[in-house]
Chain A
């Protein structure tokens, strides 16, 4: 019994020592004082953000910030791979790692951090005001630019971009009308990912916004349902006729690199071959790397890409 008491006592002493050393570890916090701020409602609550952020670190939304003339100092590799943004601009922005490396971000001394990933929020909030914007909630490109306009206090720039987009879209619409490709034609977005077929709505890049918000094309009924729901859906090739459209925009992604067998298999599939769009040469395959992005730069660029491709495919 005496022996047992000794152990219990010893354990408590060690426990208390460890506990106190843990407590003493909890250090101070840094909070940059800033002058003008406004409150922005983000997914992680109402965040006080600077009126005129000077150094922004951003994950997933680099294009959205740059389009409104925000000064981006750090972003992730995915952002920096955006082919629609000039490499001169991209080279000046630092890769902060994926997931964002707190120290790499800290080194850039940002006054605003924007991310789409909840896991970043905790550590990033210790560095600067951090805004969480889940990408699934950002749909229409005009709504997106308006929201970023509020966040960055650049409403004017947002309006200017929207106007430019509208004008460009109107021009491209005219070109299409001249060629007889009217806006009541239906378009759908399809992607083969490692042999699995996906149907996409208008919210996952791949030209969705350029085709609908820009060029006013309509979605087939079944695709519109997908668009309203999760925004994407895996379908079997056999079910594809239910989702077909007058013009089918198609991308292929294979983790095994290009020239994959899956694409050959698809093109040999009798169900695929019987699709009206396939028969008429109205399947428009575009490079994945260019269709994947969905920021204002990409949307504007895709406007031209899809218009040119449509004109090439013909009526």
Chain B
């Protein structure tokens, strides 16, 4: 029985990895300038023409790395939220946390317009993170008993309020800044600089050991408070750890890709369909699915109406919202 599951796990890991490699290859090879496999290989080894290297390293590879960062962190964050709240519909965007992170980011963009000169590379993600943390705190505070329904409702309410605030700020800034904020809010890889991605990646890597620690034995949470505690789990402590982990991941995702919704909702579900709910198997697949969704969405966004580019958040929404609606209809029934 166990080995069968393991086989299935390895099978899906393999399939998703092949899909990832395939789409990655396709997106680095195609575009305004097509690169043959040979040119690609040379550019990879920095032995190609300056133009090809520029295309590969500055224009195309960053999209893949950013898909990994954003897709992976949002998917993982969603999965942890779903475990934590014992609710299949939980996700950082539904809990209002993306809106909080966006508000933080928009406030920062507003501040820089007022002449406060801070490095965008460092402070924008920090502000997004702070926004995410404060919002999550608020949402979890409002729904004291943390019953799944109350949590969702307060998340939606707080999210709506914050989106209203964002709109208010948006209408105050000049046309130029308005456009800048809009780019952020429609969800796009707005900054594909290597240093910026490095910082996001670094934060993610620093979180990783903490996350693994938090996830250790986290399956027990699904049994409910009493059962988990009788099995020797410090239930409240574990929940707090998981909560911080999930919020931080959502912050990274939003800092990288703006307000991209529903990845965190969809990826764990697909993974559950593929392998079930055990953290050890479910979470790695969740991450891979999240990365693949983002990668695919980015590919579509940059190729569908070439040379013009769609915001990647829009494409993600087109893929995931129908899924969300089906899921909701099924759950409420």
8 Å CB contacts to B: which residues of A92-107? 95-99, 101-104, 106-107
Q: At the interface, yes or no: A127 with Cβ under 8 Å from chain B?
A: yes
Q: Which of B174, B191, B208, B306 contacts A15 (CB 8 A)?
A: B208
Q: Which of A10, A29, A96, A97 contacts B212 (CB 8 A)?
A: A10
Nearest CB of B to A99, in Å: 6
How far does the alpha carbon of A95 sit from the alpha carbon of B306 in the complex, in Å? 10
* B175 cross-chain contacts in A, Cβ below 8 A: 136
How far does the alpha carbon of A180 sit from the alpha carbon of B102 in the complex, in Å? 58
Nearest CB of A to B62, in Å: 8
How far does the alpha carbon of A25 sit from the alpha carbon of B63 in the complex, in Å? 12
Say which one of A117-125, A151-159, A265-273 lies at the interface with B: A117-125
* B59 cross-chain contacts in A, Cβ below 8 A: 102-103, 106, 123
Q: At the interface, yes or no: B65 with Cβ under 8 Å from chain A?
A: yes
Q: At the interface, yes or no: A27 with Cβ under 8 Å from chain B?
A: yes
Nearest CB of B to A57, in Å: 12
Q: Which of A19, A27, A97 has the most CB of B within 10 A?
A: A27
* B33 cross-chain contacts in A, Cβ below 8 A: 103, 106-107
Q: At the interface, yes or no: A134 with Cβ under 8 Å from chain B?
A: yes
- Known interface pairs A19-B202, A101-B308, A122-B193. Does A134 touch B54 (Cβ–Cβ under 8 Å)? no
Interface residue count on the B side (C-beta < 8 Å) = 44
Q: At the interface, yes or no: B179 with Cβ under 8 Å from chain A?
A: yes
A118 touches B46 (CB 8 A): no
How far does the alpha carbon of A107 sit from the alpha carbon of B306 in the complex, in Å? 14
Q: Mark A3-29, 1 if CB is under 8 A from B, else 0.
A: 110011111101110110011011111
A4 touches B32 (CB 8 A): no
A11 touches B209 (CB 8 A): yes
Count contacts between A and B, CB distance < 8 Å: 117
Q: At the interface, yes or no: B122 with Cβ under 8 Å from chain A?
A: no
A101 touches B32 (CB 8 A): yes
Q: At the interface, yes or no: B58 with Cβ under 8 Å from chain A?
A: yes
A8 touches B209 (CB 8 A): yes
Nearest CB of B to A33, in Å: 11
A8 touches B213 (CB 8 A): yes
B50 touches A25 (CB 8 A): no
- Known interface pairs A104-B32, A136-B176. Does A18 touch B201 (Cβ–Cβ under 8 Å)? yes
How far does the alpha carbon of A102 sit from the alpha carbon of B202 in the complex, in Å? 27
How far does the alpha carbon of A8 sit from the alpha carbon of B179 in the complex, in Å? 43
Please provide the 7 A-B residue pairs with the shortest distance between their CB atoms, ordered closest to farther.
A27-B57, A97-B307, A11-B209, A15-B205, A103-B32, A101-B307, A7-B212
Chain B positions near chain A (C-beta within 8 angstroms): 31-33, 46, 50-51, 53-59, 61, 65, 174-176, 179-180, 183, 190-194, 197-198, 201-202, 204-206, 208-213, 216, 306-309
20 interchain pairs (CB within 8 A)?
A7-B216, A8-B212, A8-B213, A11-B209, A11-B210, A15-B208, A22-B198, A26-B198, A27-B58, A28-B50, A28-B57, A96-B307, A98-B308, A99-B309, A101-B309, A107-B32, A119-B183, A119-B190, A123-B192, A127-B54
